[in-house]
Chains A and B, each alone.
Chain A
Amino acid sequence: MTTYDLSTTPLREVNTALHAEGLSGAHVITRPAGAHNVAVGVDAPVKITIEGHVGYYAAGMNQQAEITVHGNAGTGVAENMMSGTVHVTGSASQSAGATGRGGMLIVDGDAAARCGISMKGIDIVIGGSVGHMSAFMAQRGRLVIRGDAGEALGDSIYEARIYLRGTARSLGADCVEKEMREEHLEELAGLLKAAGHEDDDLTAYRRYGSARTLYHFTHDNEY
């Protein structure tokens, strides 16, 4: 196991080490003190543990790695993740999982505004609530919210699926509630299990997605 103390080791040195060819094993980053860009761009089947709060874009562009943040994360945690897992034990700021293409982002606490904005295949499981405009223009992937959602959930959504246990303050344009069929219950059960919430009552969740009325220009869309 390799340990990096961010109070004494420059961030660039740590990230460079995490980008080494053929990287393996477990890596621990201590005393991040809210630093930005911690463990970004990793592309290796490694385990990375960050002991403390991180700033912007932590674990961004992750591929393959299993990254745990023991603390809160700032703007854009796991943004554009391709594969692997990012787990935040605290809460996440705005744009968590933005534009993510694959892998899973788990936040045990809340996520702020624009969680899953423009998600393109990532799975996101939020233990608490999400802020306004979450899943804005989401294209693919699944967003599970165990708490409530702020205003305009799923605004201009394409084909992502949203599972919400609590209530949304409002739904965004073209986002509608959809039937929870057997395949959706199965899918939700799998996501909750992967995030450590297998005991949740699946029937308490509702599914939301696109009404598909914004896909093409029609005169009905005129103001």
Chain B
Amino acid sequence: MCGIVGLHLRSPELHPHLGELLAGMLCEMQDRGADSAGIAVYGDPTWSPPGHSTVSLVEPDASPEEVAATLSATLGTPVAVLVRDVTYLLSAEADPEVLLAAARSAYPHVLVGGFGVDLAVLKGVGTPTDLAARWGLAGAQGWQGVGHTRMATESAVTPAGAHPYAVGPDQCMVHNGSFSNHATIRRELRAAGVAFDSENDTEVAARFVADRLAAGADVEEALTDVTRTFDGFYTLLVSNRDSFAVVRDAIACKPAVIAETDAWVAMASEYRALAHLPGVENARIWEPEPETVYAWTRETTREAALA
């Protein structure tokens, strides 16, 4: 089944409350998936410090001190390691691709949860409520966050099988549903040189989108390509360093609700995950149409705020 949630904050006054609001959304969706969970938070000053790049390593087989020392020596600049449950958040004043390459080279068998300049990804096995508590999610800040509660149907219950899939810089995808032709598309991407971390269907869509974005497509074009290429049932929430987007398949049997106010845009599998958001009683609430890409960007949000 799975549940997905996302919150894009327009009002800076709400930034200190991002984690608390996101934790409420995530935990409400525990009924839809309780075997594992994951989140991505954009803009937390501790998890992804400003002026630094951040890389998430999930279940590394080395102590935080060892990882910090190894990568600091490799890069010639200090690398800090913050531990949140089974995830290490590495940060350094370096290009994210450089930090990522150093981490991959030193720990080639360790799962990279995500990377970028503004993004921290945490994932793990367990109930969303337990994981949110272990991460200290309620204390997180930022301008955007997404989450996923998993009920596995097609690949193992492991951190690598947990969403989000954050496979491009500051990009992130969570998925409610299942793809039926992912094996074919994975083969095509592998043949084109794309590496995979898991046998999960969603990872294929995430890498497909990352591939399109890297080729110069914008989010709406990339997601329109998803609807033309992927077969299956899906509601997808795709976030980027400056955007937040939702798309559903043509059948649209997987649920999705979007709510929007002047202060935020929120999306969830079910309305009850939005019921605690401030001002929801006056929000515009609707169900996204099939095969229609809904996208918001920070720029339009800022314009809207100024208007």
Contact = CB atoms under 8 A, between A and B. Distances in A.
B252 A112 contact: yes
A74 interface: yes
A98 to B, nearest CB: 12
Contacts of B255: 74-75, 93-94
A177 B139 CA distance: 59
Contact of A34 (B252, B253, B271): B271
B166 to A, nearest CB: 28
Interface stretch (B5-13, B57-65, B167-175, B282-290): B282-290
A131 interface: yes
B287 A93 contact: yes
Contact of B272 (A55, A75, A113, A132): A55
A119 B257 CA distance: 25
B253 A72 contact: no
A131 to B, nearest CB: 7
A188 B68 CA distance: 74
A111 B271 CA distance: 15
A132 B251 CA distance: 8
Interface of B: 251-253, 255, 257, 270-276, 285-287, 289-290
A52 B276 CA distance: 13
A36 B1 CA distance: 16
Contacts of B252: 94, 112-113, 131-132
Nearest to A33: B275
Contacts of A56: 270
Q: Chain B at the A interface: mostly helix, strand, loop or mixed? A: loop
Interface in A130-163: 131-132
Nearest to B289: A131
**How many interface residues does chain A have, given as a range?**
10 to 19
Nearest to B286: A91
Contacts of A26: none
12 contacts: A33-B276, A34-B270, A72-B285, A74-B270, A91-B287, A94-B252, A112-B252, A113-B251, A113-B253, A113-B290, A131-B290, A132-B252
A185 B253 CA distance: 34
Nearest to B281: A52
Nearest to B252: A113
A88 to B, nearest CB: 13
A153 to B, nearest CB: 15
Q: Chain A at the B interface: mostly helix, strand, loop or mixed? A: loop
Interface in A67-86: 72, 74-75
A188 B273 CA distance: 39
Contacts of A131: 252, 289-290
Contacts of A34: 270-275
Contacts of B272: 33-36, 55
B286 A74 contact: no
A35 B287 CA distance: 17
Given A72-B271, A74-B270, 11 more contacts: A33-B272, A33-B276, A34-B271, A36-B272, A55-B271, A72-B285, A74-B271, A93-B287, A131-B290, A132-B252, A132-B290
A53 interface: yes
Contacts of B274: 34
**Closest CB pairs A-B (n = 5):** A34-B272, A34-B271, A33-B275, A34-B275, A112-B287
Nearest to A109: B286
A178 B271 CA distance: 39
B275 to A, nearest CB: 4
A157 B101 CA distance: 58
Contacts of A36: 272
Contacts of B286: 91
B253 A94 contact: yes
A91 B271 CA distance: 12
A172 to B, nearest CB: 14
A75 B274 CA distance: 16
A53 B253 contact: no
